[in-house]
Amino acid sequence: MEDSLPVAATFDPTPPVIPVSVLNRLARERLEAAFPLCWVAGEVSNLSHAASGHVYFSLKDSAAQVRCVMFRNRAQLLGWRLESGQHIEARVLVTLYEARGDFQLNIEAARRAGMGNLYESFLRLKEKLEREGLFASAIKRPLPAFPRRIGVVTSPQAAALRDVLSTLGRRAGQVGIIVYPTPVQGDGAAALIADAIRRAGERAECELLILCRGGGSLEDLRAFNDEAVARAIRACPLPVVSGIGHETDFTIADLAADQRAPTPTAAAELAAPERSALYARLVADRLALQRRAAQLVNQRAQQLDWLARRLQHPGQLLARQQEGLRNLQRRLDAGLLLCSTRARGTLANLGHRLRQQRPAVARQTLHLQSLAPRLERAARRTLDGRAADLGRLAASLSHLDPRAVLARGYSIVTNRQQQIVHAGSMLEPGEEIAVFFHRGRADAAVLTVSADDGRL
C-alpha cells in the first residue's frame, strides 16, 4: 500500500502532486486496514430508506455523530425495522465514501442496544411460539368472577409476594391464598417455575394462579422468557394472570398467560374483585330488586282492579245465557215450520207434474200391436228389393272377375318386379317371367320379343 504513494526525498523541495480520487482511495484503504470489524453504539438519527433498499442514517451520542449506510442485502437480514431515536449496537466497517470524501460506517449487522443476544433469543422464541398459536386470543381462558382461593407462584422472599398479599388482603380478605414457592431468578429457575405451575394445576386447590415477580433487567427476567414456562402456563388447567416486573417489562410468560397485568399489584387487583365494590354492587342490586318488585306489585294490583271490573255474578251470566237459549229455540221452531211448509208445497208440485207426465200404457200397447204387421210387411219388401239388387250386381261383377277370364283360357304374365305385362316392349329376351292360369302358374323365360301389335 505504501508503495502506491510516491515519496519524495527529504532533500526534494517540490513534493509530488496527486489527484483527489487517489487521495480518497488511499485514505479509505488506510482506514479499512487500521480498523477491523467492530461494534459501535449510538442513537439513530436522520434515517432515510432509499428506493434501492439501502438505509442511510447517522449514529450519534452526546458529543459526536457519524454517517452510516446499511446496504439492502444486510437490511433484509435485520428482522426488524430501524427507526429514528432507537439506540442500537452496530457491527461496522470503518471506511470512506470516495466519491464525496465522507467518513462513514458500513453496517454489517445491528441489534437493539443493551439487549444483545439475550434479546435476539427472546425475539426468536416469541416468533416460534406465536407461529404455533400459543399466544392466540382464542385459547385464552376467562378469569373466574368470584374466586374463593387464589394461587401465587413466586419466591417467598420476593417483594412482589408482599405486594400481592397486601393488595388481596385489602381488597378481598375473604379469598384464600396458596403460595407455590419457587426461585424466580438464577440458573434453573425457569424449570422450577414451570414445575410449580404444573404442581398447582395438578393439586387443583385454587381457581386461578398469579405468576409474579418484581422488575429487573432482561437478564433478571430471563427465567420468564423460557419456553418451558410458556408451555407450562398453557398446559395448566387453571387460568393464569401474569404480573411480572414493571409496566414497561414484557416477557414470554406475559404473552402466554390468560391475562397480563403491568405489575404484581395490578395482577392481584385483576384476580379478585374489591370487596367494598362487591358490597356496593349488592346494595345497588338489592335496591333495584326492591324497586322492581314494587313496580310489579303495582302492575298486578292495577291488573286485578281491571279484571274485577270485568267480573260478573254467575247468576247474571246464567240468566243472560238462558235468555239467549230461549231466543235460539224460538228461531229454531220458526225455521222448522217454514222449512216444512216449503217442502210440502214442493212435494205437491212435483206430484202434479208427475201425474201429467205419466204415459197411457194401454193405448200405446194397442198402437204398437197394430204397427207390428205393417213393420213386418215393410221389412220383407225391403229385403226382397235388396236381394234383387244384389243379384244384378253380382252378375255384373262376375263378368269383370279375372278368374272368370282365366277360366276361359286366358293367362296373366308378370315380370320379376311383379308387374303385369301387357305389351311385348316391357320384356327383354332371356328375362324371367311368371304365367298365371285359372289353376296354377308357370315360370318361364322369354326367347324372343315381337314388335307386332300382339293380335292373335
Residue 3 or 373, more confident: 373
How high is the pLDDT of residue 12? 55
| DSSP states along 88-143 | EEEEEEEEEETTTTEEEEEEEEEEETTTHHHHHHHHHHHHHHHHTTTT-GGGPPPP
Residue 360 or 322, more confident: 322
Please enumerate in sequence order all residues whose Cβ is within 8 A of that of 210, keeping only pairs 6 or more positions apart, or say none: 150, 151, 152, 153, 154, 164, 240, 241, 242, 243, 264, 267, 268, 271
Encode 110-136: b = buried (16+ Cβ within 10 Å), e = exposed: bbebebeeeeeebeebbeebeeeebbe
Domains along the chain with CATH numbers: 2-114 (2.40.50.140), 119-273 (3.40.50.2300), 398-456 (no CATH)
Residue 6 has pLDDT above 50, yes or no: no
Q: What is the largest CA-CA distance in the chain?
A: 185
How high is the pLDDT of residue 66? 94
pLDDT, tens digit (0-9, with 9 covering 90-100), for 187-219: 889 999 999 999 999 999 999 999 999 877 677
Range with the poorest average pLDDT among 13-17, 109-113, 336-340, 377-381? 13-17
Angle (CA) 347 353 359, round 5°: 130
**Residues 361, 363, 367, 370: is their CA dihedral positive or negative?**
positive
Helices (H), 208-313: 227-235, 252-256, 264-271, 275-310
- The residues facing 91 across adjacent strands are 39, 109
How high is the pLDDT of residue 3? 44
Please state the pTM of the whole predicted model: 0.44
pLDDT category of residue 111 using cuts at 50, 70 and 90: confident
